[in-house]
Amino acid sequence: MTLHYTDRDDERMPLTSPTDTDTQDQGTLYESPNATNPPYLLWACLVVAVLSTFNVVLLPFSLHGALPLTPQDLEYLPYVDQRMGLNRLAASAPSTPAYYRSQPDQIARLNGRYKNAVYGTGTQVVFSTSDVTLMRFVVPPHGGYMCNVAWYPPQHNTMHGRTKVLETEGDVSQIEVWSVIAFNSSIPLPKLDLDTMSWSDRPIRGELLGTLNLNSTPNATTVDFACPFSDMVLIVELRCLIPRCYVKFNQIRAIPAYGFELVRHV
């Protein structure tokens, strides 16, 4: 069968044909979005890289600072013990008192040579081979069950450069401290009047509370004994145990305090 070519074949045309406009639109359609959006991801990666490099550079200095201090380094610190001033904090914090103290409210001198002599009460303390001193203490209302009698020597034994605060002669290392009891049951111990007492009518010695060494520093105490809770008053007699002993001073309220005190434990 023979095919004949006709002019109608030239009239056949494609439905669409590529044009310049279509090519431009197609290129715009498939263009990458990176060409128009800002490069945030690139900047973020750059910042992370810079920070990482900075940390790596500082790493040797950080490791060196974590090492323990050498003795040479400690010399440049304000507090060599490395406690950061905790010792000053402990010193400035209010401390709880470990004891409650009471000074004598009555002091009377009795002389064995002048048995009827009445010296009355005052501030003068004298005891020797022939002299004794009675002291009346009011027991502190607060505290524990145990008490003792304490001695505090004066820090400076001269007043105004001339007068001695404490006069001693002989051996004053053994001063006996006796508790006394009322010899008359009709007069209770708290009502004993030391102001009118003489050697002849002095109360009876009860219990030896201990001995005190007046040469001890910063203080000396007797052994602990039970606080007198029934009367809340303690009267003691101070006397020399060793012959050729002499003590004389005025017990006054001074700062710092010196003399004899009744101490009650907290």
pLDDT of 19: 53
Percentage of the chain beyond pLDDT 70 is 71
Nearest partner of 214 among 235, 238, 194, 230, judged by Cα? 238
Instruction: Confirm whether pTM is higher than 0.85.
Output: no
Q: Residue 103: is its pLDDT beyond 90?
A: yes
pLDDT of 160: 56
**pLDDT tens sequence across 159-204:** 655 678 899 999 999 999 999 986 655 566 767 889 999 999 888 8
Nearest partner of 190 among 141, 233, 153, judged by Cα? 233
CA–CA gap between residue 53 and residue 76 (Å, rounded): 33
Percentage of the chain beyond pLDDT 90 is 41
Number of helices (H) and strands (E) in the chain: give both, helices first: 4, 15
Mean pLDDT of 238-256: 89
User: Strand 158-159 relative to strand 131-138: parallel, antiparallel, unpaired?
Assistant: unpaired
- Which 8-state DSSP code applies to residue 121? B
- What residues have CB less than 8 Å from 163, skipping those under 6 apart? none
Note the Cα 48 to chain centre separation in Å: 52
pLDDT of 245: 94
Cite the beta strand spans of the chain per DSSP E.
99-102, 106-111, 124-128, 131-138, 146-152, 158-159, 163-164, 166-170, 175-181, 204-212, 220-221, 225-226, 233-240, 245-250, 259-265
Show me where the domains of the chain are located: 39-94, 99-265
Q: Which two tokens stand for residue 108?
A: 């009377």
